[in-house]
């Protein structure tokens, strides 16, 4: 028996994990896959192929994304930054779209506009 199985929440981690924790681990996994992409393909090859003329320096874009030879701590840090960025983006976009939502027609604060 594993030590973690003594905790019900830990034994059923895939169900009990918090949204924040899940976002962080998912971001780390994305960074790990990006790092393996960097190991697999040299992004410089893309620019050598002439793609920078076709699509705004695609090779350069991929050079930023592909984290070649990244270590676990760097991936954790990058995952944390990515998760924080996604959270900020979610909060800001939610606030932005909230202001765009029209008030209900029968609301007392509704300004009557008659054409």
- Cα 66 to Cα 35, 36, 48, 83, distances in angstroms: 6, 8, 16, 17
User: Based on CB atoms, which residue is closest to another protein, 22 or 110?
Assistant: 22
State both tokens at 113: 């506009």
State both tokens at 67: 């984290």
Q: Which of 49, 65, 72, 91 binds another protein (CB under 8 A)?
A: 72
**What is the C-alpha separation between 25 and 83, in angstroms, rounded?**
9
State both tokens at 100: 């765009």
Read off φ and ψ for residue 105, nearest 5 degrees. -60, -35
User: Based on CB atoms, which residue is closest to another protein, 57 or 77?
Assistant: 77
Q: Considering the rule CB under 8 A, would residue 105 count as an interface residue with another protein?
A: no
User: Based on CB atoms, which residue is closest to another protein, 12 or 53?
Assistant: 12
Q: Considering the rule CB under 8 A, would residue 48 count as an interface residue with another protein?
A: no
Q: Considering the rule CB under 8 A, would residue 15 count as an interface residue with another protein?
A: yes
Q: Which residues here bind another protein, judged by CB under 8 A? A: 1-7, 9-18, 20-22, 24-25, 28-29, 32-33, 36-37, 39-42, 71-75
């Amino acid at each position: 028996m594993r030590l973690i199985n003594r905790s019900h929440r830990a034994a059923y981690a895939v169900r009990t994990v918090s949204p924040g924790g899940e976002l962080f681990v998912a971001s780390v996994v994305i960074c790990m896959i990006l790092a393996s992409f960097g190991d697999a393909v040299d992004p410089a090859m893309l620019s050598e192929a002439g793609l920078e003329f076709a699509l705004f320096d695609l090779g350069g874009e991929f050079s930023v994304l592909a984290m070649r030879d990244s270590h676990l701590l760097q991936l954790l840090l990058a995952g944390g930054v990515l998760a924080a960025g996604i959270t900020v983006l979610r909060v800001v976009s939610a606030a932005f779209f909230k202001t765009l939502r029209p008030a209900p027609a029968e609301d007392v604060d509704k300004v009557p506009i008659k054409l």
